């Protein structure tokens, strides 16, 4: 008796391809073209790119990694929200030098429209600093973060973070105290969206 041939499902043929778009803060530029099984499983997926992939500017933008999370599927495209920003590990290793001080601190900040982020700031100096100077630098940086971010919308915050605006403000403010070699956000992570914040307040 002849064996009945079983049909092998071609999983790739069952998938459909969609274009993943960046949020408004990056002018909705296409980030990736990916296969999905269905809309429900695609929501929540995280797409990793570099700042260079978005802006196509200079090669140094490869140093900054940005993560976007799919939040909605509309036809053949997906919209995203900003999820995380961080320095590439190789870049971080290249900027830390012996004989200088490395000042790190972590702080949470909330945008005007209710998005909460955890920020890890890194400050690098030309020479070793004593504890009181390090403390003073932290206070200046913290003051700028506390004054500027609560005045920003999510889009303004993402642009200010990824394009270095907040870094420049901190650098300018610390000049009177000491010349610093580098300041920037080593990592920026979304902790809570505005929708989740509202839900918590209503609970």
Residues 184, 164 contacting (CB under 8 angstroms): yes
Cα dihedral 21, 27, 29, 34 in deg (nearest 10): -10
Closest CA to 114 of 26, 182, 202: 202
**Crossing angle, helix 165-174 and helix 154-162, to 10 degrees?**
60
Q: 149-171: per-residue pLDDT in tens?
A: 999 999 999 999 999 999 999 99
Closest CA to 165 of 40, 25, 9: 25
Q: Quick one: how far is CA 132 from the chain centroid? A: 31
pTM score of the predicted model: 0.86
**3-state secondary structure at position 177:** coil
pLDDT tens sequence for the chain (203 residues): 555 555 555 565 678 899 999 999 999 999 999 998 888 888 999 999 999 999 888 888 999 999 999 999 998 999 999 999 999 999 999 998 888 899 999 999 999 999 999 999 999 998 899 999 999 999 999 999 999 999 999 999 999 999 999 999 999 999 888 889 999 999 999 999 877 755 655 55
């Amino acid at each position: 008796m002849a064996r009945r041939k079983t049909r092998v499902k071609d999983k790739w043929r069952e998938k459909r391809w969609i274009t993943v778009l960046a949020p408004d803060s990056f002018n909705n530029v296409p980030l990736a073209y990916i296969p999905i099984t269905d809309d429900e499983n695609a929501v929540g997926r995280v797409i990793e790119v570099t700042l260079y992939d978005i802006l196509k500017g200079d090669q140094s933008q490869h140093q900054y990694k940005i993560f976007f999370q799919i939040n909605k599927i509309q036809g053949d495209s997906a919209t995203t929200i900003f999820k995380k920003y961080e320095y590439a590990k190789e870049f971080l290793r290249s900027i830390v030098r012996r004989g200088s001080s490395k000042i790190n601190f972590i702080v949470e900040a909330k945008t005007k429209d209710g998005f909460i982020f955890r920020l890890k700031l890194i400050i690098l100096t030309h020479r070793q600093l004593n504890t009181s100077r390090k403390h003073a630098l932290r206070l200046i940086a913290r003051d700028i973060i506390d004054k500027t971010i609560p005045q920003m919308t999510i889009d303004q915050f993402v642009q200010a973070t990824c394009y270095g605006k907040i870094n420049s403000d901190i650098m300018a403010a610390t000049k009177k105290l000491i010349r610093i070699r580098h300041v920037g956000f080593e990592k920026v992570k979304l902790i809570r969206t505005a929708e989740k914040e509202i839900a918590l307040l209503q609970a």
